[in-house]
A and B are shown apart, each in its own frame.
Chain A
Amino acid sequence: MKKFECTIKDEVGIHARPAGLLVKEAKKYESKITVTKDGKSAEATKLMALMGLGVKCGETVEVAVEGADEETAYEGIKTFFETNL
């Protein structure tokens, strides 16, 4: 399992559209990708759960990647967070 932390820079946090893009990105990989904030987790492939975390601008989330393609998934998802969120 590989993990990274990321502080959200997007003005409105992980709102609907970026969450949707994240779901699209996460579905590309076999690995299970989990986003955690304050002990609450959501799978990155589940839009409403992800939005349900209510991540705001300036908050930090932990992203965990686990599975067969975790190397490529880790890189892909990390880049996604850095550029889009």
Chain B
Amino acid sequence: MLKLSGKVVYKGIVVGPVALLKKDDQQVKRTKITDADAELARLGKAGEQAQAQLQKLYDKAVKEVGEASAAIFEVHQMMLEDDDYLDAIHNMIRTEMVNAEYAVAVTGDNFSEMFANMDDDYMKARAADVKDISNRLVRNLMGQEDVDLTDMEPSIIVADDLSPSETVQMDKKKILAFVTVHGSSNSHTAILARMMNIPALIGVPLNLDEVYTGMKAVVDGLNGEVIFDPSEEICAEAEVRVGEEQEKLKLLQTLKGKDNVTLFGKTIDIYANIGSVSDVGYVLENDAGGIGLFRSEFLYLGRDNFPTEEEQFQAYRQVVQMMAGKKVVIRTLDIGADKQVDYFNLGKEDNPAMGYRAIRICLKQPDIFKTQLRALFRAAMYGNLSIMYPMITSVEEVKKIYEVVAQVRAELDEQQIPYKVPEQGIMIETPAAVMVSDELAEIVDFFSIGTNDLTQYTLAVDRQNAKLDDFYNPHHKAILRMIQMVADNAHKCGKWVGICGELGADLELTEEFLRMGIDELSVAPSMVLKVRKAVREADV
């Protein structure tokens, strides 16, 4: 039995098997062989295995993200059958009498080098695909397991930390809990856990060599503990508590369909924050009144080239149609800082949170921005869509955005493509935006306060640094006064104001927000009914 403590990001308790996500160090050694035919047979088997793995990935991706995005796995399958690639490997095995792992690794490097040296960015990115298929072959040859969650039974994911693109690839139905060694309470693992009502512990001082896939564990997100290989007694006790938790959840379900109204008749909208099209299911399931923050980054993450206008249009249209007339606030691209994407070639920064990110990228590289705006304007024809611009610090920035908007409109007009200019608002997440919110309110349609960044910038606390979690106090008077100021300035101009940061779901503040006159709270889908409960019990 191994009992460890960590920081809780989402409360809840589960008992289940562990799935260990460990990044393998692929160290390929060159060894001499004596039987080339036997080596080629091994290679053949590894290839067949790879084809089957890719077929599975393809089938899964088609179901979850659509055929266009799944095609990459089909391409991988074809690359594995490529004559030149296979000939090179075969040749090396026969003439140099080396092991298949080595021949694959060297050939993979050579071919990926060829793509890396091409003068076309798209083709350069293909180098990663060649590496990927070669690594897959090597893994199969070495008998290492693919980190494949498709066949996994529902499990407790144990990892060092998870990147946004890793979380994107997971089948969310199969995740019982997260336990990570690193990560802060604002990391992507944490955001995902809150989205899906999944108990999560981070900063657990765990040696990953001590646990293995299939091992039983109890994650107790109420006490902040994880117990690997628990005794039967502990298991039985945990099972009882799992049952109790489920009862409480059932009680919350009775609030579905009820109004968000206080004891004194004050109302507020409760919307949901989502990060991908498939999350819309959670929004509807939890009876949110709309989507207050749709992070459009998912379209850009976990891939190796820019999403086309058509792909974006389809995704936005799908969401507004699924929400059937309910408001959907889509935030434009917020890449940079903690969300890095290789093909943006952003380069390393000393201080990425204050660096080249979000609207700054959009204004400096208007082509990227225009593609997204075109897709959004076209999708606005299909439902109640609003656009929200992140990381604003000044009136001038908004004016620059409107210049791009005017260009996009002129182009769409000229091409006679039907579109609608939706409601346009901004995130208030910099102290600068707070201070000039009176002027900003005059030129935008709404405000949504991003409390995570606002807190980090106001308190000068890096939210990616887990050591500073104790200093990250979003209840600081400075933050609450800023929220009041923003709300007052919005209302003076007759505009609505929402909160879409983690603070929106802070039940200790729900009553205060109602008092401040906040019009909308956008929270993780799993928090919608809990916030509704707090509103209905509020003495305002």
Whether B122 pairs with A15 at a CB distance below 8 angstroms is yes
B421 within 8 A of A: no
Smallest CB gap from A23: residue in B = B78
Q: How far is the CB of A2 from chain B (nearest CB, A)?
A: 23
Whether A52 pairs with B115 at a CB distance below 8 angstroms is yes
**Neighbouring B residues of A15 by C-beta, 8 Å:** 122-123
Smallest CB gap from B308: residue in A = A11
Q: Give Cα A52 to B82, complex, Å.
A: 13
Which of A11, A16, A45, A56 interacts with B126 by CB under 8 Å? Answer: A16
* B74-93 contacts to A (CB < 8 Å): 74-75, 78-79, 81-85
Q: A52 and B83 in contact (CB under 8 A), knowing A16-B72, A16-B75, A20-B78?
A: no
Which of B75, B83, B115, B118 interacts with A17 by CB under 8 Å? Answer: B75
Q: A47 and B82 in contact (CB under 8 A), knowing A16-B126, A17-B71, A20-B75?
A: yes
**Neighbouring B residues of A23 by C-beta, 8 Å:** 78
Whether B85 pairs with A48 at a CB distance below 8 angstroms is yes
Smallest CB gap from B310: residue in A = A11
B210 within 8 A of A: no
Whether B114 pairs with A52 at a CB distance below 8 angstroms is yes
Chain A, residues 15-48, CB within 8 Å of chain B (1/0): the string is 1110010011000000000000000000001111
Tell me which of B82, B119, B305 has the highest count of chain A C-beta atoms within 10 A of its own C-beta.
B82
**Neighbouring A residues of B120 by C-beta, 8 Å:** 13, 54, 56
**Neighbouring A residues of B85 by C-beta, 8 Å:** 48
Q: Give Cα A56 to B122, complex, Å.
A: 10
* B85-137 contacts to A (CB < 8 Å): 85, 111, 114-115, 118-120, 122-123, 126, 129-130
Whether A13 pairs with B118 at a CB distance below 8 angstroms is no
Q: How far is the CB of B86 from chain A (nearest CB, A)?
A: 10
**Neighbouring A residues of B72 by C-beta, 8 Å:** 16
Residues of chain B at the chain A interface (Cβ within 8 Å): 71-72, 74-75, 78-79, 81-85, 111, 114-115, 118-120, 122-123, 126, 129-130, 305, 308
The 4 closest A-B pairs by CB, nearest first: A16-B75, A20-B78, A47-B82, A17-B71
Q: List 9 A-B contacts (CB under 8 A).
A: A12-B305, A15-B122, A16-B72, A23-B78, A48-B114, A51-B115, A52-B118, A54-B119, A54-B123
